[in-house]
Structure 1
């Protein structure tokens, strides 16, 4: 490294630069930062349940005398005092922590009594210069007896003052109020609980130290959230109580009411951490996107007098209970809470179960009671020592006065009193400082009573200090007093499962899980039948675009949508509009566009619907590059997943759900080659597989159509092809259309080239459309308008006749293509 010279320095000055390894410096700096965040900012102490900033706020307000019986002071004054004395961080972090301790929707037992705008679940609070604060009654219990040597103190950030390492904390704050924080490499998220229930569990644990988790859960069955609501499902709660990690679902409290001539859903309690604006915004997005139907209006009538009241008006003809079920699934009216009980124990971050949390608090209170008792005993003993000396002096007060009067100075008087009456230095000093009015007979009687009372109190404290059982009794009695003073009834309703969430299963009765059929049209419309009429065998008479895919399902079930990118997207059937018409004669004119239900990538197309069966022959896919794949049935716990691994430039051109595994699979290529073979000749693969060779393609050729149909339908199946020029703009040339019986085409083995299915005339060199399936076939244009097809001919490789307009889709009878699903 080159030497630098500085003009202001002497000529003989040499600068010494110390080289430091950058890796070592980064590791050291990062560890120091991580340590600071973990121990000084983000994680609470398991004893008092407070983060350092919260502890400093309460301690400072206690020092300032901001008791509940005093007036409020400016929040900025408190923040400034905390920042100047104890907290080496910005005022924003201090005020944010102070605000949260004052919000009843954030804390189950608030510690700050705020005056002014301290925000709402949706809005931020006013600036600290506009609000005022003082300690809430519960904060007094947290700081009580802190001046009685109950906790240790440490130097503050500049070592000019002392601050407590922990508060005495008569309230089990960590379990009652919970906490949240993000440190480096770890985070904590603890749910609030009911104070009375927690105290009952603590007292039971005092008398039964070996109590099991099930014993404690008889007193603490689950969290009790500040905003009320419902908790659905208790399995995750027990996991969290046992291991320190788990999750549960929170659900809003809502009821159906008559609103004028209509019915409406009135929400009176929301999940913890969810505000009304968040719910309203989400509902508006769903309604505008036509993903949620049946809502005519939504009003937020929340005020301070009546509390939370969110009114959702329901359109006539819609079942409010069914709509409420959709709201739970699609909006924050139902949310999850992930428990991660990470706290500092003996200065180390640990993940704690319920019993460990309670035990740490009890051990802390046990030590607080011991130190407090020792402090009080020492103070009483000091006072008793003075009273004993004063009584000795009063017994011979004349001689005491004579000794004092004949002494040269105070020091000599002190020495003579100690010598003549056998007093200690403190006793002698106290007698010298005594006021003459105390030398009355009445004062002597008072001193004797005080002496007797002091000895009794010291005896009681000695018993507490030397008997652990008695000390535990003091802990238990004080906890009972805390529960009596600050306890409130439970707000959150605990439910075993979602089915129990609605009394008498109202939603289950109104929106039964009846069988139905879900449809996908060639123009991308989605719908379901409003009934479960038996499937007939007649031809669909609907004057609309053809049904590209149909599956049998249930109203409250889920189906999958297969796309050209090889993805399977999960879709709730209840979200689809229920339309009149039977399964074999659907009317999709009132269907919902798929683009409003699912997010597809650019250029991605929906090909088919499928059930989410976990058993059966699975799915069959054919790609543009001639790959075929059978996919093992597999349903993952997420909204979408890939079912095939595609090569670059490849895409899925056809997909179908198999029903028997013996169906006929059919490829039709751009150079008019048709190949069909049995599905049982294709080995099933998992979803990550890339498939196997299906049809052999000539150079620069590609697959136009892929499909599958069972052997019975194959006897009356037809092949529809349309030829044209590769130079024409796609979708603009009707081409020559031909319909031929499928039986005219012999089968060949997989991965072969197939047989010719259409003869090109002059100027034609490509198939612009192809389809094979059961007859009678129906065709539709890209607009959905029907397209007439010519009669079937017996010539498998003949040319076609001019079409009326370009064909975009083709399908056979709906009834024939319905898969058989058990149940």
Structure 2
């Protein structure tokens, strides 16, 4: 992991077989390029198995000497007790402590960072690792798994630094350079070893040749040795005898023939003097002859290696292959491409959900199918358990893959993905918005928008405030929202944001007040403004009246074009107005409502007093919600006591502006409607035009 101060190196373990194959490729062809090497060397290979995500960082490290990749534990999902699931971890990243990993999981549960874990236990044995993470009922295993990846060492980054000391100097290098330095080292080792063994073989050849000469003149050698006074004299006499010189000792038979190229040496004489008698047998003589032949073959081989670079490299290849045969094994760590990396959004079903926010700020999402369709005037069902002082205040329909832009009463905006909102049952409480986004003190959620692409051109967000101000800002101005939010609209003292809608810049704006008044004007009458602007007047309100909501509809002349766009593109955010034109749904606090054709409200300039929208009689109460509604959509209402009803919009009678409407929800004494929302058809992926029917 390091060499010295200021010299950090971090080279992960690799598979021996792969590195040997790469080295052999470079020995045989030093010009081999990195792409060819990467066909053999897949990447690091850890003894603890695990999974490596991303080849780009590995390639960069092999090319430049520095790179980074992610290590992940191997985990699966198992079912037990029929309706319970568990995450089972069988492999962990390199250098991760199993004990500390389990302790970290337990800490996350205790700190309520991960709420859906019921138990963590270690079932590892001699057969291998097995960490079991039991989940609570109805928990989403893939979400919990990704939370574990995010908050524990089940996912760790590894920064590769190929730094080594080369010729006394620290040097960063890529994979090919590193292997080439190893090959250069092996060349030097084999060359030195061959030279050393050549010298030893030549020394042995000299000894064996001396033995054979002695055995060829054995009788005279014995006479010389016996006649010599001591070892030194015997050595001198033997050297002189085999050199053909005359000595004082009488010998018999033919004299040895001197070889000027290979003179008899004192070393050979010493070897003869140390020769044991049993070596004088015929068998021993044959062994000496055989050994001499082998030694001479070795000498020839060593000389060939030292004399030929090709033969020297062949030795290196042969020895590498022997190492691979003896110690090579299969790869343990799996390497996946970037495209195979798991992203949280890919693990979440793309479906419509109901997002609710209580008066106290608790937020949750629930599958739309949880709320069965009922007939108009039904008693509804419980949608959220709330305390006496709390009630459901906002309801919103969106796709799990959409962004949620959360607008607060003081004009700030935050965003998060819908799937990041806790998924709980219909009666679940959810999680406080402050734990999901960084709300400021005193902030409350006013409205939310569902958006697929925050950078889409030609899209706007249209704002309306309680006091009747309106403003239009381009959607792309909100694509870089910070964790602590940004200003969406400047709000004056005594005012607050009521609604925000996503438009294409060509909509008809409909504003409704608490006292039952409404104004309808062209969006083009409001020019685009920056986020810091306050806005312009949209409606002239009477004393003590205030805006309760805003709807957007398509211009009548654009209806045919809109319908064509909707048919051609099922993900279009343009609302189909149908043959009858746009309908405005109005809901009162006592559970009454009606649908009114938008063209019954005359089109005027912004800033007017408007016309009657719905009668606010004692039976109806004041207006609490308005929304544009399609014939094939559904409507969901929720009361302050948490009662929810879902009805088909076509069952709500079409009435004129001055009508009181029909009963939509049977309200108990003391209760009142808190919110209403239009549920788009199933083929609409983000909730119609991305707008909610949320009203304060």
Per the TM superposition, whether the score is higher than 0.5 is yes
TM-score of the two chains, using structure 2 as the length reference: 0.60
User: 1:572-607: CA deviations, max 9, x gaps?
Assistant: 5334333567xxxxx7x6222235546x59858575
Q: Work out whether residues 516 and 528 of structure 1, in 8 Å CA contact, stay in contact via their aligned partners in 2.
A: yes
2:102 to 273, 280, 284: 280
Aligned to 2:368: 531
1:592 to 420, 426, 431: 431
Q: Work out whether residues 23 and 183 of structure 2, in 8 Å CA contact, stay in contact via their aligned partners in 1.
A: yes
1:447 to 256, 281, 288: 288
Aligned to 1:613: 454
Aligned to 2:689: 820
- TM-superposed CA distance for 1:301, in Å, is 0.9
Aligned to 1:267: 89
- TM-superposed CA distance for 1:252, in Å, is 2.5
Residues 509-524 of structure 1 mapped to structure 2, 5 A cutoff = 511-524=348-361
Aligned to 1:578: 423
2:158 to 321, 324, 337: 337
Q: Work out whether residues 618 and 633 of structure 1, in 8 Å CA contact, stay in contact via their aligned partners in 2.
A: no
Q: Secondary structure at the match of 2:76?
A: strand
Q: Work out whether residues 201 and 219 of structure 1, in 8 Å CA contact, stay in contact via their aligned partners in 2.
A: yes
Q: Secondary structure at the match of 2:9?
A: strand
Residue segments in structure 2 that go unaligned for 5+ positions in a row: 243-262, 512-522, 537-545, 555-582, 587-602, 609-622, 628-639, 643-672, 680-685, 692-696
- TM-superposed CA distance for 1:247, in Å, is 3.0
Aligned to 1:57: none
Equivalent residues, number? 531
Q: Secondary structure at the match of 1:219?
A: coil
Q: Work out whether residues 489 and 533 of structure 2, in 8 Å CA contact, stay in contact via their aligned partners in 1.
A: no
Aligned to 1:20: none
Aligned to 1:126: none
User: 1:348-405: CA deviations, max 9, x gaps?
Assistant: 3333333223222222222222222221111111211222233323332344444455
Partners in 1 of 2:176 and 2:411 — Cα distance? 49
Aligned to 1:659: 502
1:249 to 70, 88, 105: 70
Q: Secondary structure at the match of 2:332?
A: coil
Q: In the alignment, does 2:173 pair up with 1:347? A: no
Q: Secondary structure at the match of 1:214?
A: helix
Partners in 2 of 1:564 and 1:423 — Cα distance? 110
Q: Work out whether residues 560 and 568 of structure 1, in 8 Å CA contact, stay in contact via their aligned partners in 2.
A: yes
Q: In the alignment, does 2:412 pair up with 1:554? A: no
Aligned to 1:460: 301
User: 1:124-151: CA deviations, max 9, x gaps?
Assistant: xxxxxxxxxxxxxxxxxxxxxxxxxxxx
- TM-superposed CA distance for 1:706, in Å, is 13
Aligned to 1:492: 333
User: 1:468-505: CA deviations, max 9, x gaps?
Assistant: 22222222222222122112222223333565879xx9
Aligned to 2:316: 475
Shift in alpha-carbon separation, 1:282–1:376, aligned structure 2, 3 A: same
Residue segments in structure 1 that go unaligned for 5+ positions in a row: 1-40, 44-182, 582-586, 667-675, 685-690, 696-704, 719-742, 749-772, 778-783, 787-809
Aligned to 2:211: 390
Partners in 1 of 2:404 and 2:474 — Cα distance? 18
Aligned to 1:42: 2
Partners in 2 of 1:287 and 1:428 — Cα distance? 86
Q: Secondary structure at the match of 1:383?
A: helix
Partners in 2 of 1:562 and 1:345 — Cα distance? 60
Shift in alpha-carbon separation, 1:811–1:360, aligned structure 2, 3 A: farther
Partners in 2 of 1:412 and 1:463 — Cα distance? 40
Partners in 2 of 1:606 and 1:471 — Cα distance? 79
User: 1:730-789: CA deviations, max 9, x gaps?
Assistant: xxxxxxxxxxxxx999869xxxxxxxxxxxxxxxxxxxxxxxx98569xxxxxx889xxx
Partners in 2 of 1:444 and 1:343 — Cα distance? 54
Q: Work out whether residues 577 and 591 of structure 1, in 8 Å CA contact, stay in contact via their aligned partners in 2.
A: yes
Partners in 2 of 1:289 and 1:655 — Cα distance? 36
- Of structures 1 and 2, the larger Rg is shown by 2
Shift in alpha-carbon separation, 1:692–1:412, aligned structure 2, 3 A: farther
Partners in 2 of 1:184 and 1:449 — Cα distance? 58
Aligned to 1:682: 529
- TM-superposed CA distance for 1:308, in Å, is 0.6
Shift in alpha-carbon separation, 1:380–1:332, aligned structure 2, 3 A: same
Residues 132-151 of structure 1 mapped to structure 2, 5 A cutoff = none
User: 1:22-64: CA deviations, max 9, x gaps?
Assistant: xxxxxxxxxxxxxxxxxxx823xxxxxxxxxxxxxxxxxxxxx
Q: Secondary structure at the match of 1:418?
A: helix
Q: Secondary structure at the match of 2:456?
A: coil
Q: Secondary structure at the match of 1:227?
A: coil
User: 1:439-495: CA deviations, max 9, x gaps?
Assistant: 444433322222111001111122222222222222222222212211222222333
Partners in 2 of 1:535 and 1:661 — Cα distance? 32
TM-score of the two chains, using structure 1 as the length reference: 0.52
Partners in 1 of 2:444 and 2:170 — Cα distance? 50
User: 1:327-358: CA deviations, max 9, x gaps?
Assistant: 44554433433333333333333333332232
- TM-superposed CA distance for 1:418, in Å, is 3.4
- TM-superposed CA distance for 1:219, in Å, is 1.9
Q: Secondary structure at the match of 1:659?
A: strand
Partners in 2 of 1:337 and 1:557 — Cα distance? 32
Partners in 2 of 1:640 and 1:597 — Cα distance? 10
Aligned to 1:296: 118
Q: Work out whether residues 235 and 266 of structure 2, in 8 Å CA contact, stay in contact via their aligned partners in 1.
A: yes
Shift in alpha-carbon separation, 1:518–1:283, aligned structure 2, 3 A: farther
User: 1:269-294: CA deviations, max 9, x gaps?
Assistant: 12223333344334334444555344
Aligned to 2:10: 189
Residues 103-118 of structure 1 mapped to structure 2, 5 A cutoff = none
- TM-superposed CA distance for 1:692, in Å, is 6.4
Q: Secondary structure at the match of 2:312?
A: helix
- TM-superposed CA distance for 1:268, in Å, is 1.5
Shift in alpha-carbon separation, 1:475–1:291, aligned structure 2, 3 A: same
Partners in 2 of 1:521 and 1:716 — Cα distance? 25
Q: Work out whether residues 294 and 314 of structure 1, in 8 Å CA contact, stay in contact via their aligned partners in 2.
A: yes
Q: Secondary structure at the match of 1:578?
A: coil
User: 1:243-279: CA deviations, max 9, x gaps?
Assistant: 3333333333233334344443322112223333344
- TM-superposed CA distance for 1:681, in Å, is 4.6
Q: Secondary structure at the match of 2:10?
A: strand
Partners in 2 of 1:341 and 1:642 — Cα distance? 42
Shift in alpha-carbon separation, 1:216–1:563, aligned structure 2, 3 A: farther
Q: Work out whether residues 631 and 643 of structure 1, in 8 Å CA contact, stay in contact via their aligned partners in 2.
A: no
